[in-house]
Amino acid sequence: MNLTKRESQYVLSVPMLTRQWMVEGYIWQCQGPCEQPPDGARFVAALPDFRTLIATEMPVAPALAGCLFTAWEVAIYSDADEQIPLAVLDTLGHYAQIESFNVALEDDTGHSPDEITKPTFCRFLCGQTTGELHICPD
């Protein structure tokens, strides 16, 4: 889902992590909200462009009625200038920050061409914060 209009976002105060945990696995994206991850999957983050990231133990796309999961293309920066590491704070105070990922090198010839569609194994620091992200219409 490509959005042509972006809305302003702000945080009222500096959020502090009240709980934190690690989520690792093969990362999938759903084009839209995915309130409850499918069985065997863990919620990672709700991205600002309305995609939802989930993690699975195996590199097999999860199945959930009404949701289409595709492999997530690793993004390690939050901004176009590649200055801010990927970290996401959603409207409910859920936080996710990419910690590590495992991808094949471009010139590695030992892989089949269809491997591009396979998900990447990543590790995220996730948590619950004291802050909330507010979205305001421009």
Mean pLDDT along residues 6-25: 78
**Mean pLDDT calculated for residue range 22-36:** 88
Q: What is the DSSP string of 33-83?
A: --SSPPTTEEEEEE-TTSEEEEEESSSS---BTTB-EEEPPP--BSSTTS-
For residue 52, what are its two tokens? 């939802």
Per the document, the length of the chain is 138
**Is residue 54's pLDDT more than 90?**
yes
pLDDT tens for residues 82-118?
776 788 888 788 889 989 888 765 554 444 555 447 8
In this prediction, residue 59 carries a pLDDT of: 93
Q: Report the pLDDT value the prediction gives residue 109, as an integer from 0 to 100.
A: 43
